[in-house]
Structure 1
């Protein structure tokens, strides 16, 4: 298989896909790690040679102007589940398929992390850890039980439903908001589907699991936080930018929220001086909270398999833009002619 793949990765296990692809006969060209903007020279060097694109493209993204210059490109493969760095709409219009790392280890790991953070916040774990670190044996904040709490999940896809299923037997009420989901599906996963306003007003813990779009940017802002209970907790393990971090900081400092857990941030990597990074009411992690050795082992395998299947004209394992399949098949036929 003689194809040229252009790759750009963030730190992590992603680059382990390269030897798998080279072993299948592909040539992989890596964009210099220091590149942080698409210059005309960079586009001219890489786009016309790309039979496919692979990676997470930190600092660069994959915008329309690059995809339009990729006359030979069959597909784009994101090694992670996220595709917000790719102009998926432009790819679909061009007949370029977008595949991503939507493996079970990703969804299951994030669902486990969601339940872990719900319990940690309800049990006042940050305050208990801080008390011991400060030399106090007791007293420490008592926290509250998960039993009897109302857990609100915003974005009730595979991860949200996984959180709900894992909370069965905890004797808590689960409500969800997702404008793209039917009530029957929510009920089947053990949740009641409600409006966003009702979820904010009723929840003891709000879990954000939405992707970042113009619709969801700052979905949780000062007005949304004002609707929440004064002793509620907020968890964002979806995408940074969906929570207005300045509004969250103000609410925590003023005692209008009991605490938060944040894994995804408006600016990544998170600046060293970010006020939420070491906030006493916050569990802060660096976009890794659901990661596991099992996931890291699967990321390169799934990325390579998605890529090789797509280059051979077979549907990848996990497709982000399935509506583009007819245009993709037409593009593949044109490129093979």
Structure 2
């Protein structure tokens, strides 16, 4: 069977699949939709990252495809109903990058609670802004609120607790008993907003979560709190967040994801104070890449084998 990979994937994982299948590795196709549409009809399996939109013309072109592998966990770039209607199995890399994202979250929290990094250039220039930097906070004893308690949320809770944080969580799809089973207190969304010193988002982008953190939700957050979004762009109203940072209601924010990626020069976030941004890399480390690619490769091999025997 033919496996089409139009984005980056490790050589080790490709070699594992190539022992049983024909692997077509063309990582430039992610930015060349016409070429991807020409290649798609021959694919029994398509493996993508978040930039490839498996919907519309591309989904229609996947006439032989029975498996879509997702090198990551977010599925908002894939038409799941359309895939199901065509008998296409969708395979995400659930859990494989959880540690990388969790480490990103706690790193961002530490940096924003004690933002000495912002003074590096001044110190190197001969200045000594010590007085402005002695108001930082220790992370131990602070309350970490986790919105969404899947594999990444649970790993973030574990690391937060290891740093001495009090961890609370809310998730409409996870029972309070399950949350409590991870030594985390389950609370309502409103209580989480009002009591958390650090709020970290770990849910998919859906109609129900789009702009979940709008002006009202941001205003309900504890004054001086920090917001971290390493989940999906669109969950946070970026203009409202910029206002909350500019007026000082929030002490800081870290965003790895945005409503539009790449972030445009006219974004309302440009110029907002105490804001850390990164280009959708929270879940990407050398170690997590190995885990993600190997997991998807193994599950794709299993899924294609099942297709052969069906």
TM-score range, shorter chain: 0.7 to 0.9
Between 290-299 and 251-260, report the one with greater CA deviation.
290-299
Residue segments in structure 2 that go unaligned for 5+ positions in a row: none
Question: Hey, what does 1:116 align to over in structure 2?
Answer: 107
TM-score computed with the length of structure 1 as normaliser = 0.81
> Does residue 302 of structure 2 align to residue 309 of structure 1?
yes
Question: Hey, what does 1:167 align to over in structure 2?
Answer: 160
SS of structure 1 residue aligned to 2:254: strand
Question: Hey, what does 1:292 align to over in structure 2?
Answer: 285
Check whether the contact 1:126–1:283 (CA below 8 A) recurs between aligned residues: no
Between 70-79 and 291-300, report the one with greater CA deviation.
291-300
Shift of 1:246: 1.0
Question: Hey, what does 2:257 align to over in structure 1?
Answer: 264
Shift of 1:50: 1.8
**Distance in 1 between residues matched to 2:248 and 2:14, nearest whole Å:** 49
Check whether the contact 2:29–2:36 (CA below 8 A) recurs between aligned residues: no
Residue pairs, 1:317-332, within 5 angstroms? 332=307
> Does residue 78 of structure 2 align to residue 86 of structure 1?
yes
Shift of 1:226: 0.9
Residue segments in structure 1 that go unaligned for 5+ positions in a row: 314-331
TM-score computed with the length of structure 2 as normaliser = 0.87
Shift of 1:115: 1.8
State the aligned residue count. 308
Runs of 4 or more above 6 Å deviation: none
Which of 33, 37, 54 matches 2:29?
A: 33
Check whether the contact 1:15–1:300 (CA below 8 A) recurs between aligned residues: no
SS of structure 2 residue aligned to 1:90: helix
Which of 172, 180, 187 matches 1:179?
A: 172
**Distance in 2 between residues matched to 1:57 and 1:203, nearest whole Å:** 30
> Does residue 18 of structure 2 align to residue 22 of structure 1?
yes
What is the RMSD of the two structures over their aligned residues, measured on CA atoms?
Answer: 2.7
SS of structure 1 residue aligned to 2:167: strand
Query: Per the alignment, do residues 13 and 7 of structure 1 end up closer, same or farther by CA in structure 2, a change over 3 Å counting?
Result: closer
Query: Per the alignment, do residues 130 and 30 of structure 1 end up closer, same or farther by CA in structure 2, a change over 3 Å counting?
Result: same
Higher relative contact order (CA 8 A, sep 6+): 1
Query: Per the alignment, do residues 34 and 189 of structure 1 end up closer, same or farther by CA in structure 2, a change over 3 Å counting?
Result: closer
Residue pairs, 1:129-168, within 5 angstroms? 129=120, 131-132=122-123, 135-137=126-128, 138-141=130-133, 142-168=135-161
> Does residue 55 of structure 2 align to residue 55 of structure 1?
no
Between 175-184 and 89-98, report the one with greater CA deviation.
89-98
**Distance in 1 between residues matched to 2:13 and 2:45, nearest whole Å:** 14
**Distance in 2 between residues matched to 1:13 and 1:42, nearest whole Å:** 16
Shift of 1:126: 4.7
Shift of 1:174: 1.6
> Does residue 239 of structure 2 align to residue 246 of structure 1?
yes
Question: Hey, what does 1:8 align to over in structure 2?
Answer: 6
